[in-house]
Structure 1
């Protein structure tokens, strides 16, 4: 197995429902998200996947869907009130938006759709909320 990795930086907000501390409140992060793609063999040029394809399919997906938006869980009790205030900046997600759940969703849901036309798969995603705090999901 051979892998290729690329990261991308975005800024977005969230809150973690049920959190015991500060993360229960509306806040945001400058996220760094690392993508690791694997292939069983290299293409004719000698690559897992061209880095520009990772950028186009995964990094730009983050830009279009999460960057400068607010991730809110579909079961968040504040959803209705926030939709009344700023619906255009909300991204309603099917998970409590922890770094762990974000990484899992990117690997299991987003990447299979975005990379469907390529002979590779996203096997690892690391979501850094800060330089000190991150979560990783690996297949």
Structure 2
């Protein structure tokens, strides 16, 4: 018999990643990231459920693809993320308005991961009975940030 601790620490998750190209700048950064630049992001989604479905899955991987991955394609891919409080926003709107995605956060990898888990995940997955438990945002093969909901 499992102890309550073992039960609470046991979890099965479904994971899928998606690659996009996206630009940003980090307001207040002390180094190069304060400049306009971009990344070939790899974004990892980890989805959990209270129980497995009748087939034995958290969710079919295609659900992650056509909800979360497609949302990235439609909203972030080949766009430029800019914080609504960025002083460059007015000038960039004049020259590149349709390629801008105005976000309510300074677009660090950490904030992007949090936004995807807290705001986008619930909206995209609500009808499937699963939860986006965490998201890892890789800016490069060496640098990433992960947000996990509590």
**SS at 1:127 equivalent:** strand
Report which of the two structures shows the higher radius of gyration computed on alpha carbons. Answer: 2
Distance 1:138 1:21 in 2: 27
Q: Give 1:123 shift.
A: 0.5
Q: Give 1:84 shift.
A: 0.1
| TM-score, normalisation: structure 1 | 0.99
Distance 1:19 1:64 in 2: 28
Query: Which ranges of structure 1 fall in alignment gaps of 5 or more residues?
Result: none
Distance 2:141 2:32 in 1: 18
Query: Which ranges of structure 2 fall in alignment gaps of 5 or more residues?
Result: 1-10
CA RMSD of aligned residues (A): 0.5
Deviation per residue, 1:23-71 (Å, 9 max, x gap): 0000000000000000111111111010000000000000000000000
Q: Give 1:93 shift.
A: 0.2
| TM-score, normalisation: structure 2 | 0.92
Match of 2:102 in 1: 92
Please list every run of at least 4 consecutive aligned residues from structure 1 whose deviation after the TM superposition is greater than 3 angstroms: none
What pairs up with 1:105-124 in 2 under 5 angstroms?
105-124=115-134
Distance 2:92 2:102 in 1: 11
**SS at 2:46 equivalent:** strand
Match of 1:66 in 2: 76
